[in-house]
Chain A
Amino acid sequence: MNPAPLPTIAAQATPVGESGLAVVRVSGPDALAVTARIFEGGPFRGGALVGAVESHRAVYGILADPVFEPSANEKTSCVIDQVLVLPLLAPHGYTGEDTVEFFCHGGRVVPDLVVRACLAAGAEPAGPGEFTRRAFLNGKLSLDQAEAVADLIHATGELGARAAIRQLQGGLDDQMRGIEHPLLQLLAEIEGSLEFLDDEDVSVPAERAAAVLREAVAGIDRLLDVAPAGRILREGFHVVLAGAPNAGKSSLFNALLGEDRAIVDDEAGTTRDVVAGKRIRRGQAYILHDTAGLRGDAARVELLGIQRTYRTLAEADVILYLTEADAPRDPEPEVLELVNSAQPSIPLITVWTKGDLADAGRRAGPHPAPEAGRGGAAAAILTSSRTGSGLDEVWRALESVAAGYRLDEALSLGVVMNARHQHKLEECRRDLVLLADELEQNHPGGEVTGTMLAAILGRLGEVSGRVFSEQVLEAVFRRFCVGK
């Protein structure tokens, strides 16, 4: 029952963008053949393999478009780059298949040409995460590691990459162990008291058991606290620009992303009305969302657009509320209400736009801006997208809000959770709280507490990957002489 061999795939393995060096990876049964068609150097000569390829030994040479007619006297192909080629033969490469990695010059152009050359030589484009999927299927990675690598691939900034690497090294695992161990000890004590002889009556007081559970809940809370940070490190920090039509959102959006912005594109497959762009500052990715203007008289205007804006606001990590510095009147109360109701607790920064226009100073006095400075954010900032004034201030405000998400703490814990981890932990937390409440209110017997706790530990094991049944007995035997 062996499925057909998977096709040979190629893609850039390092992040797309400005960089000195880039790696293009080719993986699959034809990886060596593909290489031979485009690379001249070492055992790869004249479009064919001459001699043996040594795994993990880099070869220097010339990479060019594929040569399909080796008989031609002149090379018709176009040289692309001088590259280092690292063959990793099965099963030793990252994916467990024959793999060749091309180390070429970075930037946007060269790696792209290398990939195109590989495709022209017979490889297929690799889908997102496909190298990892193959590594997983070939037994090179555990599920947890695969998840971490997937996060690494999607990690947008350098900080995100670092956190993902820490998880590969077991950051979450360490934290989970710290939560599980006291619970395991408690369970062993309870079970020991049940299997113990009548004559030496031992039982675990409900209050003490409840205290151990609460301690575990606190531990889970610490992990869950940094869960949003994990997402921010992984996906980027979502900044949503909102305000009335013509408040200057699109201008500010473009000004903030700047000329040298890394990637700007329409958010794939979503709305016409919400446009997203990405900018990396100090290793952290920020995803800016430009939204449709909000109006109070929603019934009359594009209801659909407003709903989309609202959904975007609901996923924001910070909201930039834009209002014209020289606006003839105060913002409509309905607009404020809408912005506020999307996520009442997240930071909101008020930004006055068009500060270069005459008479902007009119607004220099106290302002009716909506809850200026909410969530620890800076007070209102006066900007001009035309002159660029105030933009740095906006960025500093955003960075300060991002710092409030305890990204560093998440990094130092080495914990970046994905949605699966977070969901399971939330469930376990809820179950632990219920059990602690039950213990305090009704003092159930050890047989009840033990049964429940064993089941909860089983669920925690789905995050940590550990199985406890034998460990519990082992702990019991270590502590008790069981009889009869």
Chain B
Amino acid sequence: MKAPSFDIVVIGGGHAGIEAALAAARLGASSALVTHALDEIGRMPCNPAIGGLGKGHLVREIDVLGGEMGLAIDETGIQFRVLNRKKGPAVQSPRAQADKHAYQRRMMQAVLDQPGLTVFAADAAGMTATHGAVSEVLLADGRTLGCRRAVLCSGTFLRGLMHVGDRKTIGGREGAASSEGLSGGLTALGLQLKRLKTGTPPRLHRDGIDYSRLQAQAGDDPPQPFSFRTAALVVDQVECHLAYTTEETHRIITAGLDRSPLFGGVIEGQGPRYCPSIEDKVVRFADKDRHLLFLEPEGLDTEEIYVNGLSTSLPADIQEAVVRSVPGLERARILRYGYAVEYDSVPSWQVHPSLETKPVAGLYLAGQILGTSGYEEAAAQGLVAGINAVRSLDGRPPLELGRDQAYIGVLVDDLVTKEINEPYRMFTSRAEHRLHLRCDNVEARLGDLAREVALLPAHALDLLDLRSAMVAAVERQLRRTSVFLKDRGLRVMASDYLRFPEGSWAGLRASTQTVDEFWNMVDFETKKLSAGGAGHLVQGALAQVENDIKYDGYIAKHNKLLRHREHLDHLELPLELNYRDMTALSFEAREKLDRIRPATLGQAGRIDGVRAGDLAVLTVYMKKYAASGEADR
């Protein structure tokens, strides 16, 4: 029997694999998705939530570019909150608790219903490369899938090893097998591997928790959706609860440290600093007498409660004692113990900004395998890898987002230039252009690109058009309307009024006399959007206009600060440069440049260990190189 053959085979049905497979199929490539089991698709093995600081930005961007994540969480979220409401709009980010089973079913359905996508419930055992290009995916049951491109999204499954105290289990996560064979296959293909580590907290049964002693935390009212395609959220929101560890908790943990694989040196991989285990926190922040825990329901049809903040790999008996030392959890029952998992990742300097690997043509990597952490980071890469795999089929240039365009651009650029020593999580502080990269202007930032990417259906593109027309109309009218400010004793343009810290739409509406015409225009535009099914985008458009104005001056100043480096991003470095012979570079710079092979001088400058002096040297060599190239011709 002839082996089935596809344009694109995606390995892994996690958050990266889903976006990669859906994007590939939707762009018209014949595609396959290989997953251990159908009910593995879209699982949330760790925190049952989507979004969060920096991550919410990623989800909004994935959504506008045509990804699935935003729609899925909007349909299956059980509590929606915008984080950082007390901070500036640029660093506010949506987050939602998911009903994890509903989310999985929603994603499984999307995958199964997708025309042009065939799903194989099987283990991937390896890949074959022919003439340096990937050509086949081998399944553990002996079948072979021919492919022109492959996207590997194997998450934490590569040689996964779970730790609960000194008990070790081979597996990618609780209750799932690991992929043992793929690691060796990747090494054979010329990729280097590196051990990373992450962890998860215990899950409690909801019945043993004394909620009367915990502080409840409700969702936003009204809740705000992630996707611009979601007209309204239909959700009966649940509450989360706050609990605190005690000095007794810390005493128990300190006494059990010698039985922690983390501290006993059993775990070789580097864990994330930003998501420390509770034993880490107790040791590192010894002066804090309590740590905050969030009790988050994992769904409507499950009794499981996720204890956010209590990630641990301590032995089971210590976990029991730790939980019971928390006021309100004295009688709580642990359904699943927390564990640490070690896994193989592929250090991300081995991929191009397209996410195609450097040694194997046609092989793309996305998600945790590249050393990131989080569903959102994974989904963003899956989307990029899926789009680029298809583009490369007919020789089109890859989609590459700039650091000044999107958090996805920051993510990918960081991956290809940074040495990842711990699972990489997005933070707003990673985005130097964060005043511009806001959640409220994603449609404006990426609308044109979304049209070029062509993943969005026509009606969604219409929504984007209606929204941008409204933004333009409001901006125009703001510059034509003047208001008198009693407090300041000034008459100013409405656009300048919004620039003031106290300037707001409500304040503008209160100055009725001269701005009636303005609001008539806004009402008129609002009706247009409502008629086009985009009424739900009005508030977001107004928020964007206001924040654009408020940040405008700062963005201009900031761009001036960065201007002297900006041109570096346009200076391309030939990929074949012989860095090893550039003895004027520092040894560290030589070694890293040789390994990473940045595409531009700007990227070179962002590599840790490449100094301003090294850049100066590189410019000299580039001039020489260009000159010798001329001479050759």
Q: Which of B284, B429, B561, B584 contacts A431 (CB 8 A)?
A: B561
Asked if residues B624 and A451 are in contact (CB atoms below 8 Å), the reply is no
- A447 engages B613 (CB within 8 Å): no
Which of A465, A476, A481 gathers most chain B CB within 10 Å?
A481
B88 at the binding interface (Cβ < 8 Å): yes
Q: Mark B609-633, 1 if CB is under 8 A from A, else 0.
A: 0111110110000001100100000
Determine the chain A residues whose CB is within 8 A of the CB of B53 once the complex forms. 194-195, 484
Contact residues in B for A454 (Cβ distance below 8 Å): 429, 432
Tell me if A459 counts as interface (CB < 8 A to partner B): yes
| Residues of the B chain whose Cβ atoms lie less than 8 Å from the Cβ of A434 | 557
Q: Which residues of B contact A458 (CB under 8 A)?
A: 561-562, 565
Give every chain B residue within 8 A of A472 (Cβ-Cβ).
429
| C-alpha gap A445/B557 in the complex (Å) | 15
The answer on a CB contact under 8 Å between A2 and B581 is yes
B83 x A198 contact (CB < 8 A): yes
Q: Are A447 and B581 in contact (CB under 8 A)?
A: no
Complex CA–CA separation, A96 to B585 (angstroms): 13
Verify A481–B86 contact, CB threshold 8 A: no
Q: Please name the residue on chain A nearest to B565 by beta carbon.
A: A458
Binary contact readout B579-617 vs A (1 if CB under 8 angstroms, 0 otherwise): 001111111000000000000000000101011111011
Interface string of B539-557 (1 = CB under 8 A from A): 0000000000001001001
B87 on interface, CB distance cutoff 8 Å: yes
Interface residues of B in 236-295 (CB under 8 A from A): 242, 273-276, 281, 284-285, 288, 291-292, 294
Within 8 A of A (CB), among B282-313: 284-285, 288, 291-292, 294, 308-309
Measured between C-beta atoms, what is the minimum distance from A9 to chain B in Å? 17
- Report Cα–Cα, A51/B353, bound state, in Å: 55
B85 nearest in chain A by CB position:
A198
Which residue of the partner chain, among A447, A462, A466, A483, contacts B308 with CB atoms under 8 Å?
Answer: A483
- Given A456-B561, A483-B309: A447 touches B83 (CB 8 Å cut-off): no
Contact of A199 with B292 at beta-carbon distance under 8 Å, contacts A448-B554, A450-B429, A452-B561 already known: yes
**Minimum Cβ distance to chain A for residue B614 (Å):** 8
Residue in chain B with minimal CB distance to A467: B608
Nearest residue, chain B, Cβ from A145: B613
Closest chain-A Cβ to B218's Cβ sits at a distance in Å of: 13
Q: With A198-B86, A452-B558, A459-B561 as given contacts, are A143 and B292 in contact (CB-CB < 8 Å)?
A: no
Q: Which of A144, A434, A450, A455 has the most CB of B within 10 A?
A: A455
Chain B residues whose C-beta falls within 8 Å of the C-beta of A260 in the assembled complex: none
The answer to whether A259 has its CB under 8 Å from any CB of chain B is no
B427 within 8 A of A: yes
List residues of chain B with CB within 8 A of the CB of A144.
613
**Are A143 and B617 touching (Cβ within 8 A)?**
yes
**A103 to B: closest C-beta gap in Å:** 28
Tell me how far the C-beta of B508 lies from the nearest C-beta in chain A, rounded to whole angstroms: 20
Q: Is B308's CB under 8 angstroms from A455's CB? A: no
B contacts with A, residue count (CB < 8 A):
65
Stretch at the interface among A132-140, A155-163, A215-223, A350-358: A132-140
Complex: A183 Cα to B584 Cα, angstroms:
31
A198 and B84 contact, CB distance less than 8 A: yes
Once the chains are docked, how many angstroms separate the CA of A122 from the CA of B208?
92
Given known A-B contacts A143-B617, A448-B554, A482-B274, A194 and B429 have beta carbons under 8 A apart: yes
What string of 1s and 0s marks CB contacts (under 8 Å) between A437-458 and chain B? 0000011111110111011101
In angstroms, Cα B85 to Cα A467, docked, is 31
**Bound state CA distance, A203 and B581, in angstroms?**
49
Asked if B624 and A3 sit within 8 Å, CB to CB, the answer is yes
Residue A264 interfacial (CB < 8 Å): no
- A182-219 to B contact mask, C-beta < 8 Å, 1/0: 00000000010111011111010000000000000000
Q: Is A477 an interface residue (CB 8 A)?
A: yes
Whole-angstrom CA separation of A201 from B288 in the bound complex: 16
Please give, as numbers and ranges, the residues of chain B lying within 8 Å of A451 by CB-CB distance. 432, 434-435, 554, 558
- Say which residue of A1, A138, A195, A200 sits within 8 Å of B628 (CB atoms): A1
Is B501 on the interface with A (CB-CB < 8 A)? Answer: yes
Q: Which residue of chain B has the shortest Cβ distance to A456 in the bound complex? A: B561
Asked if B276 contacts A452 (CB within 8 A), the reply is: no
Q: Are the C-beta atoms of B617 and A445 separated by less than 8 Å? A: no
Contact A477-B613, Cβ < 8 Å, known A142-B586, A451-B558: no
- Contact assessment for B87 and A194 in the assembled complex, using a CB-CB cutoff below 8 Å: yes
**Chain B residues within an 8 Å CB radius of A452:** 554, 557-558, 561
CA–CA, A193 to B274, complex, Å?
14
A201 touches B86 (CB 8 A): yes
Closest chain-B Cβ to A6's Cβ sits at a distance in Å of 13
Q: Decide yes or no whether A305 CB sits under 8 A from chain B.
A: no
If the complex has contacts A473-B427, A473-B429, A484-B52, are A447 and B88 also in contact, measured as CB distance less than 8 A? yes
Mark interface residues in B196-213 (1 if CB within 8 Å of A CB, else 0): 000000000000000000
Distance between Cα atoms of A136 and B88 in the complex (Å): 47
Asked if B100 is at the interface of the complex by the 8 Å CB criterion, the answer is no
By beta carbon, the residue of chain B nearest A478 is B284
CB contact between A445 and one of B87, B292, B582 (< 8 Å): that residue: B87
Cβ–Cβ < 8 Å partners of A484 in chain B? 49, 52-53, 83, 95, 294, 308
Scan residues 402-452 of chain A and give those whose CB is less than 8 A from a CB of chain B.
Answer: 431, 434, 442-448, 450-452
Contact of A195 among B427, B582, B612, B614 (CB under 8 A): B427
Alpha-carbon distance A447/B92, docked complex (angstroms): 10
Interface residue? B428 (CB, 8 A): yes
Is A483's CB under 8 angstroms from B292's CB? yes
User: Which residue of A1, A197, A461, A467 is within 8 Å of B292 (Cβ)?
Assistant: A197
Chain A residues positioned under 8 Å from B274 (CB to CB): 195, 477, 482
* Contact, CB under 8 Å: B292 / A200: yes
Does residue A470 face the partner (Cβ distance < 8 Å to B)? Answer: yes
Compute how far the CA of A455 lies from the CA of B562 in the bound complex, rounded to whole angstroms. 7
Q: Which 9 A-B pairs have the closest CB atoms?
A: A143-B613, A445-B88, A139-B583, A455-B561, A477-B273, A447-B88, A191-B429, A447-B91, A137-B584
16 pairs, A vs B, C-beta closer than 8 Å: A138-B584, A144-B613, A194-B87, A445-B88, A448-B88, A448-B435, A451-B432, A452-B557, A455-B562, A461-B612, A462-B612, A466-B611, A470-B418, A481-B276, A482-B274, A484-B83
Query: CB within 8 Å of B: which residues of A?
Result: 1-3, 96, 136-139, 142-144, 191, 193-195, 197-201, 203, 431, 434, 442-448, 450-452, 454-456, 458-459, 461-462, 465-467, 469-470, 472-474, 476-478, 481-484
Add 8 more A-B contacts to A3-B628, A143-B611, A194-B428 (CB < 8 A): A142-B586, A195-B53, A195-B274, A195-B428, A454-B432, A465-B612, A482-B275, A484-B308
